Structure 1
Amino acid sequence: MINWPDQLIKDIARRRAVIMLGSGVSKNSIGKDGARPPTWREFLDSALSNVPPKSKHLVAALNGGDYLSACEWIKNRMDEGWNEYLRNVFLRPAYQPNKVHELIFELDAGIYLTPNFDKIFDNYVTERTDGTTIIKTYYDDDVHQLIRGGTRLILKMHGSIDSPDRMIFGRAKYSETRIKFAPFYHLIDALLLTNTFLMIGCGLNDPDFQLLFENYSYRFPSGAPHYMTYADPAPQELESLLRDTRKIKLLKYSRAAEHKELEDSLVELNKKVEDERESIAASFTW
């Protein structure tokens, strides 16, 4: 079981935490014909099989973890078929929410941040909140107006399958977005400084995350850490590197039985957060 830090529990209880959902959360959802949302590597492997031949430079990029370059080349090969392929993968299977989605929602955070293109969590939260949750992307120019508004907010950091042309997928789009939509990244910088981030189902290789957390770490060397759930094993060297360069503390759990321990740990976290909120309400220490 995850040993949840007291400070994280307090910050979630006071809605001073941002919950970040990665592709690992969507991975356990099931859609039509048993389809599951792919990880980035699974998506690229599948896409590559649709645009033969498997060129050496493409295979080398995938095996070396250079997913941005591989994605850019595959997209160029697919040409006008790219957007249709994206819809077939991320939209048409009609993925259903899973238990982890439900447990994350029950934490009742004010802001959720996700790089996921799918709409599984978006649709679930919209239904549970009778459409009162606002969903925004990196290119919406009014996001800053909502951060202080007290409305439940989902920020889609890399765009949505609703607008495939604006999904940040590939090296060119990453580079363009950092410059053209720099204010959005400044907003995330501000959230990192003023809130505690809890990352669930997130990977370590996303270039946006690397840059954001490294900037935070070196700008504010005495700043408080953020947290990431992580399935064992995690080498001590990796834990130290993440703490030293990104101020991320790993919260480890067993990956056995399809990450069942993560679900059980989130159930416990919800109870601890609820107990903390009751304590705060009783003592009027909001």
Structure 2
Amino acid sequence: MIDWPKSLISEIAERRCILFLGAGVSASATTDDGKQPPTWVAFLKDAAKLVKDANFNAAIDELIDAGELLLALQAICNCADEGDFQDLLNEIFHEPNYTPSDLHKAIYNLDSRIVITTNFDKIYDGYCMQPKNEGFKVIPYNSTSLADEIRSNRRLIIKAHGTIDDVRQMIFTRKQYHEAKRDHGKFYEILKALFVTHTCVFIGCGMNDPDINLLLEDVKILGTSSRPHYALVWKNSQNQFRIQDWANTYNVKALEYEPDHVALTNSLVTLFDEVDKLRMSTNL
């Protein structure tokens, strides 16, 4: 179980905390027949099959095995048929009827006013947008109304890399990262401001998004380490020197849990109990 810092419990209770959801959260969902969303490596290996040239295919496999995932994906996009690639994206991120997991529900129960996600799928969005769950608005990174929505009292789900609903606007490859920073600089300014003014908890994230890391590094330079952000990570899944680097470079403190979604969910349920108790006692 995660030993939650009291300061973090207070910030979540007061809704001064942003939850940042990565692919690990989506991976906990299942279809009725037990199918789960693929890992990034599994997705890339499937996508690489769209490349017909054997030499290019072998080179892409080398990039995947070396962990050069963004470059591998860029190579696939360059070499594969565009229509086939879009069909694959829809097959993986849109068509499966994934059922939200207990992890999704535990995150929802924390009732953070702002949730940011790099996930293209709509698993968490769909759970929040059910008729019984009112007051949510889903905003993509390229929305011109994002700043106004943040200043409102609405609960927001910010799609930092876009959504499967608009495949051409998804930030997926190295080239698309550069284009997004060029064409949507205001979004990254807003994101930086949110990191300055809020504590962020990264859930299911690999902490390897180049844009997010650059923003965190800038924010670290502006502030101090007395109010860290937090990353929830599997115990012993990360090199200890990498964890120390997160703290030194990005002011992100790792909170470790036993390596499965059940343990993470149980920790979040315990966190909710503490948050709810504080909200009840202070009428938050």
Matched, 1:240 2:244: yes
Query: Is the CA contact 2:51–2:57 (under 8 Å) kept in the aligned structure 1?
Result: no
Q: For residues 143-201 of structure 1, give each alpha carbon's deviation from its aligned partner in whole angstroms, at most 9, with x where no partner exists.
A: 00011101000000000000011111111110000111010011111110111101111
Give the 3-state SS of the residue equivalent to 1:20 in structure 2. Answer: strand
Match of 1:9 in 2: 9
Give the 3-state SS of the residue equivalent to 2:116 in structure 1. Answer: strand
Percent identity over paired residues:
36
Query: Is the CA contact 2:120–2:163 (under 8 Å) kept in the aligned structure 1?
Result: yes
Supply the distance in 1 between the matched residues of 2:133 and 2:104 (Cα, whole angstroms). Answer: 17
Give the 3-state SS of the residue equivalent to 1:139 in structure 2. Answer: coil
Supply the distance in 1 between the matched residues of 2:24 and 2:77 (Cα, whole angstroms). Answer: 23
Give the 3-state SS of the residue equivalent to 2:130 in structure 1. Answer: helix
Q: For residues 210-268 of structure 1, give each alpha carbon's deviation from its aligned partner in whole angstroms, at most 9, with x where no partner exists.
A: 2121221123245621001100103331221110001100010111xx33211110110
Q: CA deviation at 1:32?
A: 5.3
Q: Which AA in structure 2 matches 1:267?
A: V
Match of 1:217 in 2: 220
Match of 1:30 in 2: 30
Match of 2:129 in 1: 126
Matched, 1:264 2:232: no
Distance 1:129 1:150, change over 3 A: farther
Supply the distance in 1 between the matched residues of 2:25 and 2:64 (Cα, whole angstroms). Answer: 22
Is there any run of 5+ residues in structure 2 with no aligned partner, and where?
none
Give the 3-state SS of the residue equivalent to 1:199 in structure 2. Answer: strand
Q: For residues 50-74 of structure 1, give each alpha carbon's deviation from its aligned partner in whole angstroms, at most 9, with x where no partner exists.
A: 3243634312221222212211111
Query: Is the CA contact 1:138–1:158 (under 8 Å) kept in the aligned structure 2?
Result: yes
Matches within 5 A, 1:189-228: 189-222=192-225, 224-228=227-231
Match of 2:48 in 1: 48
Distance 1:222 1:247, change over 3 A: closer
Query: Is the CA contact 1:32–1:93 (under 8 Å) kept in the aligned structure 2?
Result: no
Q: Which AA in structure 2 matches 1:230?
A: V
Q: Which AA in structure 2 matches 1:2?
A: I
Further displaced range: 61-70 or 13-22: 61-70
Query: Is the CA contact 1:217–1:223 (under 8 Å) kept in the aligned structure 2?
Result: no
Match of 1:66 in 2: 68
The normalised TM-score by structure 1 is: 0.93
Further displaced range: 213-222 or 109-118: 213-222
Root-mean-square deviation (CA), in Å?
1.6
Q: Which AA in structure 2 matches 1:102?
A: K
Q: How many residues align?
A: 280
Match of 2:257 among 244, 249, 253: 253
